[in-house]
Structure 1
Amino acid sequence: MVDQQQPTPGQRVERLRRGAGLSREQLAGLAGLGATTIKFIENGRRSLTLNTAQKIAPHLGVHDLGDLFGPAVTLSLDGRPSHPAVDDVRKALTAWHITIAGEPESPDYLRGAVDSAWQTWHTSRHQRTEAGVILPGLLDATQRAARLHTGQDRRTSLTLLAQAYHLAQAYLAWHGDRELCWLTVDRGMTAALDADDPLAIAQASWYAAHLLRAVGRGDEALARLGEARALIEPQVADDGPEWAEMLADLHLCAALTRARSGDQGAWSDWDAARRLVERALPDGYVGLRTRVSRPLVDVYAVMCAVDLGDPDEARRRAHALDPQSIPSTERRGRHLVELARAADLEGAREATLHLLTRAEATSPETVRYSPAAQDMAGRLAREAPASIRGEAADLARRIAVPEP
């Protein structure tokens, strides 16, 4: 049994911060985090993750992470749920065809296959399981086409190969090896650059930025996004809506990146995306792969407010957004997880559980593999009032939250 006298990780962070003579704002600035993040870790509203601990440890004079987590906490490298198809996707990513022969699939066929795979990702309740079935064959077919075609057909095949790598990254993001995620980013960018396709390069930059942000390299992510915007912005006025769609998505990614670091400048990027969608995209427009649309812009507003530590603003932004209007089952599930995070920030445990349960009903695999959902469900199972603790424990079991 855990010794109730042991300080929590948040209490340890606060004690070490004060001992180092740092304010929350100073520690956040040194570590590249938001001051609200430090506040919520210290008061127990947010768990101390290994990634965050690694960022703050040097500034607290900590050389052993046990000083932050304490002897009662076990750090497992295998605690994150993994999807059963990861091995098959890994084999497809690391199967190098030294010799290759036969007739490649046509670019038109491959475009249909890639578009169908993305449609499945956005409409299936079990998108990760279905993507795990699709990806090995899709990667093989697009790799072969990029090798065997010549001229414009090869360029088109390379663009579609980049899209296949992007889908692999989306699949692997929450339950794959970090090295595999980097592999998909590098391969996707290489294919896009070889295709010499500005839209493909911009989208590859978008995916690279998400991974850079996830590993604490937010400044690099913003730099890559800025380069991508400069590449396509001159063509937005004269070319089709997919250019405006991509530019809006780059602004949304920058907004979220800034919000994750506590930068209120996130709202400037978000507003640029909003104005672009309203001005340059037809009513009812939904990006096939990105799902950029008016509802998605509102989804990002909620995400930014949550990451900036402002649950009141998140609730205000979500008030008029009907989750059923979000044109992606996967994004709808993530939106409900974000609303649960907002409730969690306010300590509203019943609301947090209710929203997580709704998210699971919408997209079970989104909740099962979401680190934020796992964290909230685990804390509810341990700490929720007795009136809902049994229900919280059932949810934690259903989504395979690791035992403490």
Structure 2
Amino acid sequence: MTFDGVGESVDPEIPFGTRLRLHRTRRGMTREVLGGMVGRSASWVKALETGRLGTPKLPLLLKLAEALRVRDLAALTGARSIPVEPFSGPGHPRLPAVRAAINAFIPLTDRPPPTLPHLRSRLRGAWRARHAAPDHREVLGALLPGLIEDAQAAVHGADGESDRRAARAALSEVYSLAQFFIAYQPAQSLLWRVCERAVVTARESDDPRALGIAAWLMTQAHRDAGDWDAADAVAEGALAHLGALMTERDSDELLSLWGALQFEAGYTAARRGESGTAWRRWDTARRVAERLPAGFYHPVTSFSKAIMGAHAVTVAVELRNGGEGVRQAMRSEAHVIPSRPRRARHRIEQARAHRSDGREGEALRLLAQAHATAPETVRYNGHARAMIIEGLRSREHRAAAGALADRVGLPA
């Protein structure tokens, strides 16, 4: 029998509490941390694990599944298979083609590889298209198969070590771009494969931009998987590497990546409930953003002056401080964020803040704004979907939640 988030054997004789404890300890979480992530106490988690409390109702089950990265509720309940997909996000129609491109073995051919300037131009265009599109996964899903194949061909066909390193840097960034498409879809093993390829290829390229981006995304992947120690290790290693380079080079690119990694370290601290560290890291990142030129906006990390207000909302929400989250949400303006998907995600974070402060109607209003900005961001965001589902259970807000559920594709 296994307890692996995918494809577990289900033995109905194993109690819910035992299953919960096994998944929690596998993720390296304390009861305090898991309880905080679902808005409950450590003693409540202990009561579940010891059987003093029975299996919670669906909304709390979904929160536990999300916190523990469980993709089938049967892994927790022992009942018949209930995929978490309706609550965590569906698979995009273009996912099979992207998966095939990533998994394909690209043989050497006589076809000339694309030139590096042409490849870089396409990559810059792909980032711009992602930020501009309301259906950004559709856009990326159409572009990625060709980009992956051509970037791999550029590495194989490079003439000399210098060109090969430059091609590897481009390939690493293509893999990073792919992570924005794959994230929050039922493709965790594929996401990890691409994440690791991005890091390895960036190291081989010896390009600080590629390595900074890959480390930034790897930090998020470890944090989202519940391995906060690994997230810290990646962030600290990348910060030290970029920090050493910054003593030699005056580069807005390196500075912005260093600032983005500072915030990610703060985000992880907030997940742990370390308020002082989280806000100190956020403030360090804010001071970095203030040093960047007016109008600077990193095309991958979104790091900029404009994003720091959004980051403050996230820190407050992750620290489970609803009142502070609302205060930060009221101070931060979404319209200054130039990226449509990132702007929509900020609206979702604002909605989380209001929801945690008991303002469910305002949370649903903000989710509607997020959907109007970038529907695919809401459709694939687990927090947004969970808030809509919870709204359906409220007599007062069922109509608003039902309208959103129809647009997102959730059963009402």
Q: Normalising by the residue count of structure 1, what TM-score does the alignment of the two structures yield?
A: 0.84
The 1-side partners of 2:138 and 2:170 are apart by 21
Answer yes or no: is 1:354 the counterpart of 2:361.
no
* Partner residue, 1:273: 285
Residue among 50, 56, 64 paired with 1:49:
64
* Partner residue, 2:221: 211
* Partner residue, 1:37: 37
The 1-side partners of 2:127 and 2:343 are apart by 15
Residue among 264, 275, 278 paired with 1:253:
264
Answer yes or no: is 1:167 the counterpart of 2:181.
no
Amino acid at match of 1:179: S
Answer yes or no: is 1:134 the counterpart of 2:149.
no
Answer yes or no: is 1:95 the counterpart of 2:104.
yes
Answer yes or no: is 1:65 the counterpart of 2:72.
no
The 2-side partners of 1:262 and 1:34 are apart by 11
Kindly state the Cα deviation for residue 389 of structure 1 after the two structures are TM-superposed. Answer: 1.2
CA RMSD after TM alignment:
2.7
Kindly state the Cα deviation for residue 202 of structure 1 after the two structures are TM-superposed. Answer: 2.1
**In 2 relative to 1, CA 402–147 (structure 1 residues): closer, same or farther, beyond 3 Å?**
farther
Would you identify which runs of 4 or more consecutive aligned residues in structure 1 move more than 3 Å? 38-47, 51-55, 77-80
The 2-side partners of 1:209 and 1:54 are apart by 16
Kindly state the Cα deviation for residue 83 of structure 1 after the two structures are TM-superposed. Answer: 0.7
Secondary structure of the 2:296 match is coil
Q: Identity percentage over the alignment?
A: 30
Kindly state the Cα deviation for residue 321 of structure 1 after the two structures are TM-superposed. Answer: 2.1
Residue among 178, 187, 190 paired with 1:177:
187
* Partner residue, 1:343: 354
The 1-side partners of 2:175 and 2:255 are apart by 23
Residue among 182, 192, 205 paired with 1:195:
205
* Partner residue, 2:11: none
Q: Does the 8 A contact of 1:168 with 1:184 survive in 2?
A: yes
Kindly state the Cα deviation for residue 64 of structure 1 after the two structures are TM-superposed. Answer: 7.1
Kindly state the Cα deviation for residue 205 of structure 1 after the two structures are TM-superposed. Answer: 1.2
Q: Does the 8 A contact of 1:81 with 1:400 survive in 2?
A: no
**In 2 relative to 1, CA 101–40 (structure 1 residues): closer, same or farther, beyond 3 Å?**
farther
Structure 1 residue runs without a partner (length 5+) = 1-14, 21-27, 56-62
Answer yes or no: is 1:75 the counterpart of 2:82.
yes
Kindly state the Cα deviation for residue 290 of structure 1 after the two structures are TM-superposed. Answer: 2.0
**In 2 relative to 1, CA 363–271 (structure 1 residues): closer, same or farther, beyond 3 Å?**
same
The 2-side partners of 1:65 and 1:29 are apart by 16
* Partner residue, 1:110: 119
Structure 1, residues 173-212: CA drift from partner, whole Å, max 9, x if none?
0114101101111111111011012232222111111111
Amino acid at match of 1:48: K
Q: Does the 8 A contact of 1:225 with 1:250 survive in 2?
A: yes
The 1-side partners of 2:302 and 2:75 are apart by 43
Kindly state the Cα deviation for residue 316 of structure 1 after the two structures are TM-superposed. Answer: 1.9
Q: Does the 8 A contact of 1:119 with 1:289 survive in 2?
A: no
* Partner residue, 1:332: 343
**In 2 relative to 1, CA 29–86 (structure 1 residues): closer, same or farther, beyond 3 Å?**
closer
Q: Does the 8 A contact of 1:34 with 1:260 survive in 2?
A: no
Structure 2 residue runs without a partner (length 5+) = 1-15, 22-27, 45-55
**In 2 relative to 1, CA 66–156 (structure 1 residues): closer, same or farther, beyond 3 Å?**
same
**In 2 relative to 1, CA 54–276 (structure 1 residues): closer, same or farther, beyond 3 Å?**
closer
The 2-side partners of 1:207 and 1:402 are apart by 32
Q: Does the 8 A contact of 1:132 with 1:171 survive in 2?
A: yes
Kindly state the Cα deviation for residue 341 of structure 1 after the two structures are TM-superposed. Answer: 0.8
Q: Does the 8 A contact of 1:53 with 1:65 survive in 2?
A: no
* Partner residue, 2:388: 377
Kindly state the Cα deviation for residue 270 of structure 1 after the two structures are TM-superposed. Answer: 0.9
Amino acid at match of 1:346: D
Secondary structure of the 2:297 match is coil
The 2-side partners of 1:396 and 1:89 are apart by 27
Structure 1, residues 57-86: CA drift from partner, whole Å, max 9, x if none?
xxxxxx97228xxx6x96315544111000
Answer yes or no: is 1:297 the counterpart of 2:308.
yes
Answer yes or no: is 1:228 the counterpart of 2:238.
yes
* Partner residue, 2:6: none
Kindly state the Cα deviation for residue 53 of structure 1 after the two structures are TM-superposed. Answer: 5.2
The 1-side partners of 2:243 and 2:133 are apart by 33
Answer yes or no: is 1:286 the counterpart of 2:293.
no
Kindly state the Cα deviation for residue 283 of structure 1 after the two structures are TM-superposed. Answer: 2.1
Q: Does the 8 A contact of 1:110 with 1:142 survive in 2?
A: yes
